[in-house]
């Protein structure tokens, strides 16, 4: 019965994640076919945004993969994926501007980004060991050791949930900065802006889906622990 405890949470979380993933890929693919009238590439847009914010030291690099774009604050690099770097589509430009938004956040000391960076070590530890500790707790049963291990496992998983919660304002703010920059710098306009916004909104929803999935997983862990205590 323990295996089935909270099983519905897993199914719901999986459906939410799959829908979010499908939506972002479909939206990106759709607006990857809509090209910027200025015919400027995403890499050129990234360079312009960084330079306009005085971030001349940050490098724009190409990285393999599809939608593997990210900002690396340790290396001071904005990495754009193969599907984004040389593309002139409004989808690619929106993604590039978003990553530059993260670079600007880092430069100005955006508080939620600082908080997210601070909890990363705990999150990394928790992601590696929460399952092991929780499983050991189930093995030891409803003894003091078992209950303690289950509780520690759940607390470590809570750190992952907190990280994902703090990630939301970071991602939404980066998208907001991106859209404002694309509009005020006249990089995109009209339907082009609307397309970029849809792409970034779809991407942001994947983070919302990840948070909901983790919350459902947390409820499942609590459900399993409670059932174990009753045995």
**Which residues are tagged catalytic?**
99
Alpha-carbon gap, residue 12 to 207, rounded angstroms: 16
Phi, psi (5° rounding) for residue 54? Answer: 75, 20
Pairing of strands 77-81, 70-72: antiparallel
Kindly provide the b/e burial profile for residues 53-76, where b requires at least 16 CB atoms within 10 angstroms of the residue's own CB. Answer: bebeebebeebeeebebebbeeee
Alpha-carbon gap, residue 24 to 21, rounded angstroms: 5
Pairing of strands 59-63, 70-72: unpaired
């Amino acid at each position: 019965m323990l295996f089935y405890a909270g099983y519905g949470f897993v199914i719901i979380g999986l459906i939410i994640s799959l829908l979010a993933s499908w939506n972002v890929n479909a939206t990106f693919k759709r607006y990857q076919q809509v090209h910027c009238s200025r015919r400027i590439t995403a890499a050129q847009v990234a360079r312009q945004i960084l330079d306009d914010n005085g971030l001349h030291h940050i490098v724009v690099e190409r990285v393999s993969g599809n939608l593997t774009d990210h900002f690396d604050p340790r290396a001071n690099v904005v990495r754009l994926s193969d599907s984004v770097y040389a593309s002139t589509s409004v989808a690619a430009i929106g993604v590039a501007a978003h990553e530059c938004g993260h670079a600007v956040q880092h430069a100005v000391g955006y508080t939620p980004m600082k908080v997210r960076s601070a909890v990363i070590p705990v999150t990394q530890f928790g992601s590696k060991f929460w399952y092991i500790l929780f499983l050991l707790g189930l093995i030891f049963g409803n003894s003091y050791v078992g209950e303690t291990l289950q509780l520690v496992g759940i607390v470590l998983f809570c750190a992952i949930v907190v990280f994902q919660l703090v990630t939301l304002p970071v991602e939404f703010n980066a998208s907001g900065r991106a859209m404002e920059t694309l509009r005020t710098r006249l990089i995109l306009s009209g339907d082009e802006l609307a397309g970029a916004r849809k792409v970034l909104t779809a991407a942001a929803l994947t983070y919302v889906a990840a948070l909901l999935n983790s919350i459902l997983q947390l409820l499942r862990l609590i459900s399993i622990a409670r059932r174990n205590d009753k045995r």
